Amino acid sequence: MFYWKQARIPFLVLIFGSVFFVLGKSILTPSVTQSSMAALFVFPAKVPLIGWQPLAGRPLPESNSELQQLLAQKHYQYTRDGRILDIEMRYFTATDGDVRNFIRSYTSLVPSINLREQPKVGFYGLLADQQRAYLSACINPRGGSTVTDGQFKQNRYLYDVRLNRLLPWLLGRESLRDNRCLWAHLSVSLEKSSPETTYRVLENVWFSWYEWWHLRFPKLSDSD
């Protein structure tokens, strides 16, 4: 007990000194934001998709929406047995992950989403108009895929706020909550098929697509 009393003051001085050092460094040293680090990301020209043959994609129009920050985007197109599959990928930072807002901003669709969940993948949304069926979801930096802002926020609290990410946050290397999203928007023609039948085609593609991107989500630092 006596030795603890003697060592307590130097111990506390060391702890507080370390904290002030880290805080001072984070204030004096310009921090690297998620946006600037993530801006280095470029979508690959090709992504393999089992059972489908790749085609040349097209440029995607940008949106005037200020609800989220778009850093990169890419259109992928595939064919199988005469059917065309379109996949639009967009990389956002500082977003709330609300897929319905994405759909409103970047498509002419009414985002009436049929929400579904797949174990080890996460949530995804299905919708259709008279001509096409769609599958839409936000691939998260940590945790499963999401559709709503509530699901996205829950992933941030569950998977981002962890001890191994505190030091990079204190040093200003990244935000404590990683509000980035890879939005995947898949679609195929109904071709006289029912939406439910076409949804199964999209779901089979999605599970494979999600696995590929989940393992290759853009990195911000070695702590990811």
Q: Could you tell me the sign of the dihedral formed by the alpha carbons of 101, 105, 106, 111, in that order?
A: positive
For β-strands 181-189 and 122-128, DSSP reports them as unpaired
pLDDT of residue 2: 46
Can you give the residue ranges of every domain in the chain?
1-30, 34-214
Q: Could you tell me the sign of the dihedral formed by the alpha carbons of 120, 91, 75, 131, in that order?
A: positive
pLDDT of residue 146: 98
pLDDT of residue 3: 45
What does the pLDDT look like over 103-129, one tens digit per residue? Answer: 999 999 998 999 999 999 999 999 999
Burial class (CB in 10 A: 0-12, 13-18, 19+), 14: exposed
pLDDT of residue 159: 83
pLDDT of residue 139: 98
Residue carrying structure tokens 């111990």: 11
Cβ–Cβ under 8 Å, residues 97 and 149:
yes
Per-residue pLDDT tens digits of the chain, which is 224 residues long: 444 445 455 444 444 444 444 344 433 443 444 455 455 799 999 999 999 999 999 999 876 666 568 999 999 999 999 999 999 999 998 899 999 999 999 999 998 999 999 999 999 999 999 999 999 999 999 999 999 999 999 999 898 865 555 555 555 555 666 899 999 999 999 988 999 999 999 999 999 999 999 999 998 754 44
Measured CA to CA in angstroms, residue 172 lies from 15, 21, 29, 31, 177 at distances of 19, 13, 8, 5, 12
pLDDT of residue 129: 95
Torsion, Cα of 140, 142, 147, 151 (10° steps)? -150
Burial class (CB in 10 A: 0-12, 13-18, 19+), 220: buried
The DSSP-derived string for the chain is: -HHHHHHHHHHHHHHHHHHHHHHHHHHHSPPPPHHHHHTT----S----TT-EEE---PPPPP---SSEEEEEEEEEEEETTEEEEEEEEEEES----HHHHHHHH-S-----EEEEETTTEEEEEEE-SSEEEEEEEE-SSSSBBSSHHHHHHHIIIIIS-GGGHHHHHTTSS-SS---EEEEEEEEE-TT--HHHHHHHHHHHHHHHHHHHHTTPPPSSTT-
Q: What predicted TM-score, i.e. pTM, was given to this entire model?
A: 0.79
CB-side neighbour CA atoms (13 Å) of 89? 20
